[in-house]
Amino acid sequence: MIEKIYKKVLFTLILLFTLTFSFTMPEVNAAPSNEKYVIPGGNSIGLKIDTGVYIAGKYEVKTSNDKVSPWMMSDIEVGDKIIKYNDLNVLTANNLITFLNHETSDKVRLTILRNKRTLQTNIKVVETVTGAKSLGLYLKDKLLGVGTLTFIDPASKLYASLGHGIYDQKVIIGDVDGTLTFSNVESIKKGNAGLPGEKRASLSKKEIGDIAVNNITGVYGKIKNENLVNNQKRVKVASQDEIVLGPAHILTVIDGEKIEKFDIEVVEINKQNSRNIKGIKIKVTDEELLNKTGGIIQGMSGSPIIQNNKLIGAVSHVIVDNPSYGYGIHIEWMLNELLTIKH
């Protein structure tokens, strides 16, 4: 699931992704569920996110004389979004490459977006040994991933998925454009202590909906596929106070597109006053799932956690040293996020 830097997804967080890091979360008051009912997910999904042109890395450029770093004297950081090349708008990585190939100057001005601030910086243009022009920057304009649909709100037809954000080079993208599709699980790489497993899945052309928001708590958007809403079973959303230690189950796909129920146990509950993606510690107890996957694996992010016929959370992490254990996010935080989306 990890591609080369231009056209690949660098997955972070242990489920969809492979890097981990901590966050400081803004405080948000937990909202009561108010007898809210939603449609539980469990579907295997593919995510295609248009991010704009991001700097995913830097490299030395080999010229006919030496190796040089064109960005050395520039204010350029990994994660910066390039929005202009001189006075030309940059919409895709190919845009910028085309502009660069026609460049006659040895220096250009880039307008970049960093932490919601717009900056300008000059950067050298160098010619490689092959005669191509280069800035020494790895560029990327898309993120691709595989995960699990958490729930759909039948009233607004908005969905929530993943239970954590999609990250790349420690960049989390906020308001985004993209497409959510079904995905087909073709095989499973079983997890072992120290080596998380993964779902090996292909993205389908069958669309589920649009992607509008990618943040700390998950990926959100609008459903287009009415079959996912019409005449579907609904479950009550649980508040943190309704979660108890003991048996529960998750809904997820480990073969094709078939949603299955697997037994787990809630072994620890972390009550929270601000959003955090490690609210519920779980243990996989289902022998079939343990035999096939070793426990929680990459691609299970967003799998709904149901206890006593209530949706209590979504799988968000695996514990690498023991993949039979993992964490889930309290469903309240994902529902709260859904309420902020304009539709």
Just list the catalytic residues. 164, 286, 301
What is the distance between the alpha carbons of residues 319 and 204, in angstroms, rounded to a whole number? 29
What is the distance between the alpha carbons of residues 120 and 123, in angstroms, rounded to a whole number? 10
Taking CA 145 as the corner, what is the angle to CA 271 and CA 41, rounded to the nearest 5 degrees?
A: 55
What is the distance between the alpha carbons of residues 175 and 240, in angstroms, rounded to a whole number? 28
Q: Which positions ≥6 away from 146 have C-beta within 8 Å?
A: 1, 16, 44, 45, 46, 47, 183, 199, 201, 203, 299
Q: What DSSP assignment string belongs to 112-126? A: EEETTEEEEEEEE-E
Q: What DSSP assignment string belongs to 197-211? A: -EEEEEEEEEEEEEE
What is the distance between the alpha carbons of residues 177 and 210, in angstroms, rounded to a whole number? 7
85 alpha-carbon distance from chain centroid: 28
Q: Is 18 helix (H, G, I), strand (E, B) or coil?
A: coil
Nearest to 191 by CA among 311, 328, 115, 298: 298
CA distances (Å), origin 163, targets 12, 91, 105, 317: 13, 29, 46, 9
What is the distance between the alpha carbons of residues 120 and 114, in angstroms, rounded to a whole number? 10
